[in-house]
Amino acid sequence: MRSKKSSANYNRQDTIFKGILISASLLVVGLFVALFLMLIRESMPSILGNGFAFLTGTTWDPGKGVYGALPAILTTIATSLLAVALAIPVALGIAIFFTEYAPERSKFPLTLFVDLLAAIPSVIFGIWGLWVIAPLIKTYVQQPIVASIGFIPIFGGPAYGISLSLASLILAIMVVPIIASLTIEILSRTPVSLKEGMISLGATKWETVKHVSLPFARLGILAAVMLGLGRALGETMAITMVIGNSYMWPFANPSIFAPATSITSKIASEFYEATSAIYVGSLIELSLILLVITLATNALFRYVINKTNRGAKRQ
Amino acid sequence: MRLVSRKNANLLITLLSLAITIIAIVPLLWIIGCVIANGASAINLEFLTDTPAPYGESGGGIANAILGTLIINAMASLFGIPVGVLTGMYLSEYANSGKFSSVIRASVESFSGVPSIIFGIFAFTLIVTAAQHYTALAAAFALGLMMVPIVAKATEESMRVVSDDIREAAIALGIPKWARTVKIVLGVARGGVITGSLLAFARISGETAPLLFTSLFSFYWPTGIDQPMATLQVLIYNFALSGYPDRVLQAWGASLLLVILVIVINVAVKVVTRPKYKEGF
């Protein structure tokens, strides 16, 4: 009698509990949908007012009501790709050193360093990039290059320090730990039997890495690169502080030393001053474009990582 | 001869990867060094207890920004951690391979890839436009939302690795599923949930972009949670770009506090979870 009653009680408690969990989960889903809908709704003034010219225009002049987003979109893509290209060899080097050559004792401090680099807030990268790195880069890298091969347009002057290339460099430093830690995880999953087989054939460690570990980890490394790219595309503060926020690149001045404006730096530096509905809408439409690009990159990341895991393990 | 060149190739790669690893560590030490070298001289009693001086005057402090960051982080945690834990519990204990579960999983995963500035815009369109003024609540909402996927994933992963023996033992004792999940599985997994929440807290402590159009900035003490509020992050951004040497120095001082907070949490979590980590590798 008593147990029957408590079992009915349990069932009700279980239903309530499951209801709470489902509502919390549905809240997350709802907010994600709301995020999309709000961005679309708020960018309507721009979508209707600017039309397709928004995506192809190269001039951004709120005074005249002209909003062309192409330079910002291109800058975002260029800085991110450049950053990832710089970061890949470094991340691979760290991952190979960590999994193959590092003495056991050094592994804990090494992962600590990698994790800490990933944990440093981006605004700190910004202040460091702006006040420490920019002057150094200007004097010791940009000026000599401009002086020697500055006649080639993409290396043209003047050297300001803050520039597209500085933003890419800072971004590269920020994505190295992201790519490296995932690559370490992937390389560590190489089946030991395969590696032992190579070693028993007399292969050196490098030959084992080159012929077994790297081919085995190929897809996983691609996933790590996608993850880093997604992070680079959306990065805001460090970029805003070091990129110069000028619409010069790439049309007015194609040099990698020219100041530029990314999608995120445009939003971060102009959102306050935006007064008219179409100005605000244009900035929000920029964020919508960014959202679509980053979600696509992340979806690709998840597709690849799930393929490497055959469905389950990581995500 | 061939063996020698193969061994040399191996040695070359060893040295190269070592060199790359060292080069990659340099920026971390450089940043920390710069922040300490520049920031330490800014820190004094006035800096830690006073509000910023008006432009053009020297002195003043950043105490209102320290308080603001703590208030906004606390509010974000009140929202982000429970929702994250509940979602993680659902994903670990109740989700199956059906459509409904995969929609939830996809939303949580997608959230973790959304750029932080977009959370700021979202909070702006949802809360600031409705309230018609900048408010710290919108900032807390944006940051809380950023915590959800981190906490959910930590909860799910640490509950997943709890042995089924424990769940079965609980079933054998006739313990209802909710109590099994909350008191037993979550109890065993609580270490992972706590470290995940701490890492999420550290992460949002440094996030600046979501605050720009939500909590904005203020030169005064916080007057209410629905008002603009100073934060360390926005203070660093504003002061670093202000160009006044005094302000830039204070930005470095604020950076030092922020870096200490972030590093202490990360190192603590890392040291506490160390034995587990070794096993994993």
Which of A21, A100, A290 has the CB atom closest to B118's CB atom?
A290
Q: CB neighbours of A155 closer than 8 A, spacing ≥ 6?
A: A145, A146, A149, A255, A256, A257
Q: pLDDT digits over B134-172, tens only?
A: 999 999 999 999 999 999 999 999 999 999 999 999 999
Do B181 and A17 make contact, defined as CB atoms within 8 angstroms? Answer: yes
What angle separates helix B186-206 from helix B63-89, to the nearest 10 degrees? Answer: 140
* Strand ranges in chain B using DSSP code E only, listed in sequence order: none
Q: CB neighbours of A245 closer than 8 A, spacing ≥ 6?
A: A259, A261, A265, A266, A269
**What Rg value do the Cα atoms of chain A yield, rounded?**
25
Q: How confident is the model at residue A8 (pLDDT cuts 50, 70, 90)?
A: confident
Residue A96 in any domain: the answer is yes
Q: How many domains does chain A have?
A: 1
Mean of per-residue pLDDT scores for chain B: 93
Average of pLDDT values for B232-260? 95
The secondary element (H helix, E strand) that includes residue B129 is helix B129-131
Give the whole-angstrom CA distance, residue A129 versus residue A113.
19
Residue A226 in any domain: the answer is yes
pLDDT at A48: 95
Chain A residue numbers touching B13 (CB-CB < 8 A): 96, 205-206, 209
Cβ–Cβ under 8 Å, residues B122 and A35: yes
CATH 3.40.50.10440 fits B45-280, yes or no: no
Residue A150 in any domain: the answer is yes
pTM listed for this prediction:
0.94
Tokens of A298: 């992340």
Return the CATH number at A172.
1.10.3720.10
Backbone CA torsion sign across B178, B183, B184, B190:
positive
CA distance to partner chain B, nearest, from residue A151 (Å): 31
Chain A residue numbers touching B104 (CB-CB < 8 A): 25-26, 28-29
Q: pLDDT digits over A146-194, tens only?
A: 999 999 999 988 899 999 999 999 999 999 999 999 999 999 998 999 9
**What Rg value do the Cα atoms of chain B yield, rounded?**
23
Q: How confident is the model at residue B3 (pLDDT cuts 50, 70, 90)?
A: confident
Do A96 and B240 make contact, defined as CB atoms within 8 angstroms? Answer: no
pLDDT at A3: 58
Q: pLDDT digits over B187-231, tens only?
A: 999 999 999 999 999 999 999 999 999 999 999 999 999 999 999
Phi, psi of A190 (to 5 degrees): -55, 130
Please give the residue range of the domain that contains residue A277: 72-309
Residue A47 in any domain: the answer is no
Give the whole-angstrom CA distance, residue B144 versus residue A282.
26
Do A122 and B208 make contact, defined as CB atoms within 8 angstroms? Answer: yes
Q: CB neighbours of A213 closer than 8 A, spacing ≥ 6?
A: A99, A100, A187, A190, A195
Q: How confident is the model at residue B59 (pLDDT cuts 50, 70, 90)?
A: confident
Cβ–Cβ under 8 Å, residues A207 and B10: yes
CA distance to partner chain A, nearest, from residue B19 (Å): 9
Phi, psi of A276 (to 5 degrees): -75, 155
Q: How confident is the model at residue B26 (pLDDT cuts 50, 70, 90)?
A: very high
Report CA A152 to chain centroid distance, whole Å: 30
Do B17 and A101 make contact, defined as CB atoms within 8 angstroms? Answer: yes
Q: CB neighbours of A51 closer than 8 A, spacing ≥ 6?
A: none
Chain B residue numbers touching A205 (CB-CB < 8 A): 10, 13-14
pLDDT at B275: 62
Question: Dihedral, CA atoms, A228, A234, A237, A243, nearest 10 degrees?
Answer: 90
* Nearest Cα residue to B145 out of B228, B91, B72: B72
Give the whole-angstrom CA distance, residue B234 versus residue B142.
15
Mean of per-residue pLDDT scores for chain A: 92
Do A115 and B177 make contact, defined as CB atoms within 8 angstroms? Answer: no
Q: Which residue in chain B has the smallest CA separation from A25?
A: B87
Residue A60 in any domain: the answer is no
